[in-house]
Amino acid sequence: MHHKIHKLMHPFTFNPGEKMLVEELRNAIHSLPEISSDIEAPTARNAWLNFRNNLRHQILESDPRYFLHWPIILHTMFYPGNKVELDALRESEQWQLWKKGLEETSVGYPIRYKEFPSSSGNLIHHAYLAYRLSSVFGIKLAGLKTIFEFGGGYGSNARLFYQLGFIGTYTIFDLPEFLLLQKFFLRDFCEKKNIDWKSSTLGKTQFLSEVSFVPEYFSPDLFVAAWSLSESPLEVRENLLERFKKPKYIAIAYQQTFREIDNLSYFNDLSERMPDYEWVHEPIAHQAGNFFLFGKRKE
């Protein structure tokens, strides 16, 4: 509701910081090469080409300050929430830490979760994945030094880890349009929190869009892919995974099928191909047809 009141009272006004960020975002979108229009076949690759075109149009034609109400965002990267996830976090011995991580911001004007209005269903969803990972292997997330996220959504997960105390190097690999949106989100987050972007941990976030930009034999403390690797073409997955040596921890969330791809078979095979990891593969009980796959490198 607050975003609607804000739009009614300030439909065309921007503070200087907002104006600069929006202009930089739109200029960067304009500078991207055109995307092929022959994308009708229902494949994983074409699905994301359509998402990219849609996002470009929204950024250029709509007000990016309210991007979390765009259909393309709501349908692809904003989970409405589930009380099971919030309850698990509340019952955790580390609830005070999770509570800090769950603090929402006005950037994008996210829909707040009615059971916990200081947060959103999507931020709780990201925290639940991190909670399950830390519970399975007893990890102190703030102690990680390097995190590599494949498919960073709009930057919410990077913000979560920052609020949980992470001070290492965070790298996001994604499509160019989404990288620009993530940078917009994280910079505006810093602006509204009075955090100096250039000197902050978030300001040191690395944004990569080409597999060749990922260092060969890169071995981060954590490789995380929340419903992203499972939505990518098979060749993209394999080309990327070949760049890594042995991340210390792996956290993957995925849906059983995506377009023409059988993800359950793919991730079962992936874990079998990597016997030097201890694997925990579990269905997400409150999300039928979805799974977590957690891995820990054997010493």
Tell me the domain boundaries of the chain.
78-297
User: Taking a C-beta distance cutoff of 8 angstroms, is the pair 130, 137 a contact?
Assistant: no
Query: Pairing mode, if any, of strands 257-258 and 206-208?
Result: unpaired
Question: Over the stretch 109-165, which tens digit does the pLDDT of each residue have?
Answer: 999 999 999 999 999 999 999 999 999 999 999 999 999 999 999 999 999 999 999
Residue 9 has pLDDT above 70, yes or no: no
Instruction: Give residue-wise pLDDT tens across range 252-295.
Output: 999 999 888 999 999 999 999 999 999 999 999 999 999 999 99
237 touches 229 (CB < 8 A): yes
C-alpha–C-alpha distance, residues 191 and 31, integer Å? 25
| pTM assigned to the model | 0.92
**Which amino acid does the sequence have at 33?**
P
Give the separation between CA 294 and CA 284, rounded to whole angstroms.
13
Q: Which CATH architecture has domain 78-297?
A: 3-Layer(aba) Sandwich (3.40)
